Amino acid sequence: MTALGALIRRDIRIALRVGGGALIGVLFFLTVVVLMPFAVGPDLVLLTRLGPAILWLGALLASLLTLDRLFTADHEDGSLDLIVMSRTPLELACAAKALAHWIAAGLPLVVATPVLGLLLNLDAVATGAVALTLLAGTPALTFIGMIGAALAVTMHRGGLLLAVLVLPLSIPVLIFGVAASQAAIVGPLPFGAPFSILCALSLMSFVVGPFAAAASLRHGLD
Amino acid sequence: MTLIDLANPTRFLALVARLLPWLAVVTAVLLAAGLYLSALAPDDYQQGATVKIMFIHVPNAWLSMFVWGIMSVASLGTLVWRHPLADVAAKAAAPIGASFTFLALLTGSLWGRPMWGTYWEWDARLTSVLILFLMYLGLIALWRAVEDPTRAARAAAVLTLVGAINLPIIKFSVDWWNTLHQPASVMRMGGPTLDKAFLIPLLVMAIAFTFLFLTLHVAAMRNEILRRRVRSLQMMQARSVSSDVSPGGASGQIAGAV
């Protein structure tokens, strides 16, 4: 337990210090959202209607962007080999790393959502709904993306391949995230149904993600 | 002959050499019979002759999912039993599955043009098949990203199994998304029941396409084994050339060791 706690603390500290790059994700999120009005026009009514979709798409891309570093940095300096060889189960170590990554890179996206909601003319209810769905859904993005990151690090290829592999798998999260936000804003569905499925997707990714990532690290590293 | 005997590629190749002509003949006969029966099938009272696209479309769609299932079993073989043929089977199946998925999309959109008035409709089934196609392409990209086949095999096996878990979820969520966004405006093909006049040609075509897949798959596995042999021969050759050039070259020794 202490080993996992130490791993989480270490990863967060590395991600937040100079050169860590976790907060670049938030900056990217902001930039994507600012770009949207240039593409669809400065029509506030339209932006309000598209708001939840824009925020979710931005968060999806931003979390994908930062995932590249999840295992690569550790692989470069050799600490990934130590983690693989240590007595802590690799599945738990992967889960700890993903949790640390989510705290450093995913949670700031949720915190930034209310500010970006103002830019898109979302009211308080809509902003709260989007922030809540992002809070429930971004862990799923991180844990699913971790599989892609583990595959990419074993092949010394990152970037585009990671995106191609992970994006189709994150479609359900996107669907239910946006559906829950829309349900809270305009109805007619109750907010609870899609939101519970979103939570279920997150819970399932907590199980599948670490096992798949650990399997790929164990078989792939030489 | 058990599965473990086939771990020897030479034995597998011998079996393929005996099996492949028969598979090809059975496929050809079944395809000919299926096409003949499809041509004889009556026109639909509503859809006219376009209903015959179904005889090509449905087998392709069925195989697009069946091939992912085959690859999942093969991936289990790679990760759990370390069967040497399993990753060959998984690699050979991916492009074939992608082709079947693409043909299912293509024939579907050709059918949709006269029926729905548009080549593409964001219908739940079409969308989930499109996502399946994307996942096939991602898998092929993964296979092509790594030079060493055994390393690529394990990564692809993990991705295939994750995909097998996720595909039903994606299907379910796309269905939800579709009912949320567009109320049933799209006419469904088939109607309440499928008449026997359509069912029999469809079944024959489905069996014929399954045999077509088996034939192509076995042939592709043979090609993959031969390709790997050529690769290792080339590497041995390169090694012997490089050791000839270096002082005190021991090419004979290395070739003997390999």
ipTM confidence score: 0.84
CA B116, CA B123: separation in Å to the nearest integer? 11
pLDDT for A160-188, tens place per residue? 888 888 888 888 899 888 888 888 887 77
- Residue B2 binned pLDDT confidence (cut-offs 50, 70, 90): low
Q: What tokens were used for B60? A: 């392709």
pLDDT at B97: 93
**What is the CB-side half-sphere exposure of residue A129 using CA atoms within 13 A?**
25
pLDDT at B215: 93
Q: Are A25 and A109 in contact (CB under 8 A)?
A: yes
pLDDT at B247: 55
CA angle A78, A84, A88 (to 5 degrees): 130
Place of tokens 């579907």: B108
pLDDT for B68-126, tens place per residue? 999 999 999 888 888 888 888 899 999 999 999 999 988 888 887 777 777 777 777 78
Put simply, the chain A residues between 194 and 213 with a CB less than 8 A from any chain B CB are 194, 197, 201, 204, 208, 212
Please state the domain count of chain A. 1
Give which of A133, A147, A141, A143 is closest to A199, Cα–Cα.
Answer: A133
Please tell me if residue A165 touches chain B, with a CB cutoff of 8 Å: yes
pLDDT at B211: 92
Average pLDDT, chain B: 81
- Residue B180 binned pLDDT confidence (cut-offs 50, 70, 90): low
Asked if residue B150 has pLDDT above 90, the reply is no
Does this model's pTM top 0.90? My answer is no
pLDDT at A77: 85
Query: DSSP secondary structure string, A175-210?
Result: HHHHHHHHHHHT-SS-SHHHHHHHHHHHHHHHHHHH
Average pLDDT, chain A: 86
Domain span at residue A117?
A: 2-220
Please tell me if residue A94 touches chain B, with a CB cutoff of 8 Å: no
Q: Which residues of chain A does B130 touch, with a Cβ-Cβ cutoff of 8 Å?
A: none
Please tell me if residue A169 touches chain B, with a CB cutoff of 8 Å: yes
Candidates B78, B173, B174, B175: best to mutate against A (most CBs of A within 10 A) is B173
Asked if residue A140 has pLDDT above 90, the reply is yes
Asked if residue A112 has pLDDT above 60, the reply is yes
Q: What tokens were used for A35? A: 């770009």
Most confident of A58-67, A150-159, B146-155, B210-219: B210-219
3-state secondary structure of B48: strand
- Residue A143 binned pLDDT confidence (cut-offs 50, 70, 90): very high
CA A184, CA A189: separation in Å to the nearest integer? 8
Asked if B145 and A175 come within 8 Å (Cβ–Cβ), the reply is no
Give which of A43, A154, A66, A168 is closest to B166, Cα–Cα.
Answer: A168
Residue A77 is which amino acid? D
Asked if B155 and A175 come within 8 Å (Cβ–Cβ), the reply is no
- Residue A45 binned pLDDT confidence (cut-offs 50, 70, 90): confident
pLDDT at B46: 67
Asked if residue B59 has pLDDT above 80, the reply is yes
Asked if residue B183 has pLDDT above 50, the reply is no
Give the start-to-end residue ranges of the domains of chain B.
Answer: 17-41+52-182+196-227
Identify the closest residue of chain A to B134 by CA–CA distance.
Answer: A168
